[in-house]
Amino acid sequence: MSEKQVVITGFGGQGIVLTGNILGKAATIFDGRHATMTQNYGPEARGGSCSSQVIVSETDIAFPYVEHPQVLVCMSQEGYEKNAPSLRAGGMIVWDSDLVKVGQMDPSWTTLNVPATRIAEELGNRMMANIVMLGFLSAVSDVVSVEALRQAMLASVPPKTKETNAKAFDKGRAHGLEQAPAAGGQG
C-alpha cells in the first residue's frame, strides 16, 4: 500500500470528524505511517452535512485533499449521493444500511453495508454508530492495522466510555468479518 484515500460522510452529531481523527491517529501514532485529515461540514451544529477526508501513506503526502477515494464510508443519504460519484473504479463503498439507501453502483466497486446505527442502539447508545463503523472497517479493509485502530479508538474516547466503545468496535468488527471473505478484507 503506497497510499489510501478515505472519505467518511454523515451528518453533524454522528462523530464523523472524530472517526477521521481516529483513523489518522491509528495510521500515524500506532502504525508509524503518514496521514492527513481534513474536514468539511455545514454551518449547522447538528444535522448538517459533514465529512472527513483521510489519506494514509507510507511516504510524505504532498496534497491533503481527497478527490477520488479508494474507500467511501457513508453514514447519511446526502453523503452517499454527494460522494459516491467520486469513488474510483475498483474502490470500496461501505454504508450504514439503517440510514442510506443506495442506487445502482459501479460493478467494479466492493459494496458492503452494516446496520451500524441499529447495533449501536442495541448497545444502548446510538452515538456509538461511528465506532461500530470503525470496527466494521477494520474487518473489511487494510487502511490501517486492526490493533492500531483499536488503540487509537480507545485513546480517543472518554475514559468512562472505553468499555462500551470497545464493545461497539468489536460488534462492528464481527459483522465485518462475516462479510470480509467476499470483500477480500483482512481477517
Which tens digits make up the pLDDT trace of 55-93? 999 999 999 999 999 999 999 999 999 999 999 999 999
43 or 158, which is more confident: 158
Q: How far apart are CA 101 and CA 99, in angstroms?
A: 7
Which tens digits make up the pLDDT trace of 135-181? 999 999 999 999 999 999 999 999 999 999 999 999 999 999 998 65
- The reported pTM is 0.92
- Sign of the four-CA dihedral 34, 166, 38, 76: positive
- Of 8-12, 39-43, 119-123, the poorest mean pLDDT is in 39-43
Q: How far apart are CA 187 and CA 173, in angstroms?
A: 9
User: What is the structure's pLDDT at 43?
Assistant: 63
Q: How far apart are CA 105 and CA 58, in angstroms?
A: 30
CATH of 3-183, one of 3.30.1360.120, 3.40.920.10, 3.40.50.10860, 3.50.50.60: 3.40.920.10
Q: How far apart are CA 145 and CA 186, in angstroms?
A: 9
How confident is the prediction for the chain on average, in pLDDT? 92
What are the residue ranges spanned by the domains of the chain?
A: 3-183
